[in-house]
Chain A
Amino acid sequence: MPAEKRIKGDGSGIPDGMTGAVLKVNGDDYPVVFPTNHTLLEVLREECKLTGTKHGCELGECGACAVLVDGQPVLSCLQITTDVVGKSIETVEGLQHGNDLHPLQETFADLGAAQCGYCTPGILMVAEALLEKEADPDDEQITAALSGNICRCTGYNRIVEAVKWAAAKKRGDDWRPDEELFMGTEIPK
């Protein structure tokens, strides 16, 4: 970590056990002072007030807290904050382009890939990282990429379809999921 990014220094008044730093989140600077033992999850939610990032276990077992650090998905509940000072952090709050939803946000909302919405931010961020490196991921790639994220509402299949739909939108392709995902499968005669 670049030491010069740390505010703490002579006369800073920051006591032992605390760290002062400027975090770069969604392109914005967040000057924060936080207990050094607080993970990125805690600092994002409690100091930056970016509560879009969720927590389901705080032990790296559910994926709800996933955010991007320099474009890579990490579990913010296990990410010691001082290690990401000076790096680019992205959270769900930064996904939108202006007031327009990101394609992933659109397709998750329209396809019912978010029900309670609690695992959604983590899944969106992991999916975003996947789409950044893979413009047209197949089911297997999506499943593998998202396999660290637990969702208790949807049964997952709709999430995989929503990621594919978003990838298509991002590519400018007009592919969309089967009509049966919107209306149910036609009753066999």
Chain B
Amino acid sequence: MAKALSKPPEEQGDATETEFNLVGKPFRRVDGRAKVTGQTRFADDVHFPRTVYVKLVRSTVPHARIRDIDLSAALAMDGVLGTLVGAEMPDSFGIMPVSEDEHALAIDTVRFVGDSVAAVAAVTEDIAHAAALAVKVEYEPLPTIASVAEALATPEPQIHDYADEGNIHKKVSLKFGEVEAGFEEADLILEDNFFYEGSNHLALEQHSSVAVAEDDDRVTVYSSTQCPHYVHRALTKTLGIPSSRIRVIACSNGGAFGGKSDPFNHEAVVAKLALKLGRPVKITLTREEVFYCHRGRHPVQMNLKTGFRQDGTMASQHLRTTLDGGAFGSYGVASTFYTGALQTTTYKLPNYWFESARAFTNKPPCGPKRGHGTPQPRFAYEVQLDKAAHELGIDPAELRLRNLVEPNTITANWLRIGTIGLKECIDAVVKGSGWKARYGKLPEGRGLGIACSAYMTGAGLPIYWNHMPQSGVQIKLDRSGNVAVFCGETEIGQGSDSVLAVVVAEVLGIDIRDIRLCVGDTDLTPVDLGSYSSRVTLMVGQAAKQAAERARDKISNAVSEHMEVPAESLVFTGGRVFPAHDPDKGIAFNEAVIIAESRFGTLGTTGSYIPPRSPGRFRGAGVGPSPTYSYSAAVLEVEVDPKTGLYDVDKVWIAHDIGRALNPVLALGQIEGSVYMGLGEAMMEEQAFRRLPKHLSSSLVHKFPSMLEYKSPGFHDMPEMTCYMIETDDERGPYGAKEAGQGPLLPITPALANAIFDAVGVRVDQVPIHPDLVLKGLHAQATGHEARVGPAEFPDIDFGEPLIVHTPEQGGDGRAANDPKAKRKSLRSSSGTMKERDEALKEHSSATLTTD
């Protein structure tokens, strides 16, 4: 809801700096006051009289058939009102249409310790918990599959029968250009194995949902979700009632980072129980259960082979990755592609072969976490570049500058690059850190490391194939002068409400306090796909801008008639509307609205946004395209204690090409928060598991599902940070803006590894970089061995026949040269509603992986 600014806009910065009213000025976030007063209503803060509390009975075995669920002891307890088992909600759901493999509660099979088996509802949470503990489940064990290696070695039993092969969920092989020929012309070929451990989002708010039945087939669900629209779709699938009678309200999220972007089974459970019991039903997960929901960073093994020319430019690259996916699909198919898709966006790579496999294992499902699938290969790439720079005798910063992708070009894998401020980013961190004078020259134990990255500003395609806008905004104005803005976007802490409000306020020239937001409500607000893939600033921003401009045009038309001045001459600023040549003739904004309301009747406008079509036409080309890409460069300074391997990150310089910072103070917060989370992954965070000795137990458990033992950096662990924002003013973004919430995480892990190398000469090719690994490398160094720690090998996997795609340089058309499925796909219907999409749909739709 709209909240007051700390100061009126006119006092919030030097108005002469830009032509904007608000854009580019640091102002208090619109939800700022609510968040510091305790007024913000998170899902667990929602309370209704007669609420019933639910606990889920979770599997205590990693993989088994369910033989029997005995609910009798639970049902006999005073205060227990009902139970639910999987058979009562037989329809499956899942975020990706190609992997709808989840159920509200397990049917027949449990797939990991923590998988949901049954639900118990009671008048208090205490009773529900006691009753859940009293439920007896009998299992018939199946083999435990604990890793990618075990998944490869154990094709049967399948964790899911729709997998590409055995327990390999998805296999990908995409070959762009003349990869082998590229290697032949290389002067230096590096091939390295890397590992990037999985991690949890650890949003401070534990997931919570409250469902209220409003009729025998009508229900409202309040939830901590980043994507109310996708929850709405999942509830439609699982509840068996019309989608028009399901309402999902996304509460403010107490942090999410990708962990609340899947629809979750507990949301379906409370909705069903509310309909069954006729009372409001609430579930709030414990921290341990949040670790079971997971959807965090995939553990990824990588083999990266790159051919360099003597001058440091690259001739060819072959990247192979495996993902340990856990027990469900989640966003995993997309994650799989993402471990390769953005590899081409920073440096010129004429030939590129990407192969990947995602395995199903008996662990909580992995999914999207801040950077979704891209921090892992970025780590590998940027560490290998550092190695190449040393081999070739080129400064690592200089090596990167020699390879930069040109703006407004198309990459070998058919991604369209818009603006690119990476050179300015590198220059900023190089100068800021004193790189040239200090790199390689600091005393033993102290070092600098550099790394760069790119990230999408919104996924180019929706999760499910459709012709509709990815973001919609409605504006209602009336004689009060208040402007109500309706949008399905979801505030997860990143400041999306503030983006929505500032764009509308900017266009209409009004104070943010005169805007009322209604967001994240599937009944009341137009669809926005959700707060994921760094899409909100650009897509919601553009939709809001369109809606606001339409409102402004309506008002202009009415006012121009009234004042007898040309509509084009009217200026909206400072809460007034006036002709540019005669500011004194102006009227207050609300008077202008009265004139428009009198002229046109009730006022309302809409805006929509659909990303431009990407040029890629091959299967898999749906992952990676974005309206534009953000860029980051970081330098880290570390001090390593050579006796222990303990190290401190003392300083971070980060530069981020943000296009334009709509609200710099919030944008900086996104950059700093990304650096923080990157440091957590680089230094300590890991979603680790224990496999008990096989001869004694088949168990496979999360090693430490708690805030205490899952280590996330605290106040003491944060270095000093210097943030540079590079503004490239991208034409695709609202007022030129790109994303800032994910990209700046990516360079942090490789920059740390590179800094440790500069400090002590040890290569750690895996994260997190625990001190024992550094010490191990130092020991190897001291005993004359290779001073490297990391995986020795990459699994032997047949990724299948590659799809051959000719690059733009080769004169390709974006299609695969050898895809037998392509022809069939081209027959797909191409009806559309939006102009851009019409044009897009004239082409066949094989670009989307969701039609597979």
Contact = CB atoms under 8 A, between A and B. Distances in A.
Contact of B32 (A109, A160, A189): A109
A111 interface: yes
Contact of B715 (A58, A104, A143): A143
Contacts of A96: 37
A134 interface: no
B669 A115 contact: yes
B205 A118 contact: yes
B438 interface: no
Given A57-B707, A109-B35, A118 B204 contact: yes
B668 interface: yes
B617 to A, nearest CB: 39
A28 interface: no
A39 interface: no
Nearest to B677: A152
A137 interface: no
A155 interface: yes
Interface string A131-158: 0000000000001001101111111111
B657 to A, nearest CB: 12
A115 B495 contact: yes
Nearest to A117: B35
B722 A185 contact: yes
A73 interface: no
Interface in B170-226: 201-206
A164 B512 CA distance: 28
B604 to A, nearest CB: 31
* Interface residues on chain A, size class: 35 or more
Given A115-B673, A157-B721, A184-B661, A54 B36 contact: no
B720 A152 contact: no
Contacts of A152: 201-204, 255, 257, 673, 676-677, 712
Interface in A158-173: 158-160
B35 A155 contact: no
A35 interface: yes
Nearest to B288: A57
A108 to B, nearest CB: 5
B630 to A, nearest CB: 14
A91 to B, nearest CB: 7
Contact of B40 (A112, A117, A183, A187): A117
A150 B204 contact: yes
B721 A112 contact: no
Of residues A52, A54, A160, which shows the largest number of chain B Cβ atoms within 10 Å of its Cβ?
Answer: A54
Nearest to B286: A58
Interface in A65-124: 91-93, 95-96, 101, 104-106, 108-112, 114-121, 124
B204 A64 contact: yes
Given A62-B707, A109-B28, A152-B712, A184 B40 contact: no
Nearest to B42: A118
26 contacts: A54-B205, A55-B44, A56-B707, A61-B708, A108-B32, A109-B28, A109-B29, A112-B665, A115-B493, A116-B35, A117-B35, A119-B204, A152-B203, A152-B257, A152-B712, A154-B673, A155-B675, A156-B676, A157-B718, A157-B721, A158-B672, A159-B715, A180-B723, A183-B665, A185-B723, A187-B655
Interface of A: 35, 37, 45, 49-59, 61-62, 64, 91-93, 95-96, 101, 104-106, 108-112, 114-121, 124, 143, 146-147, 149-160, 180-185, 187-189
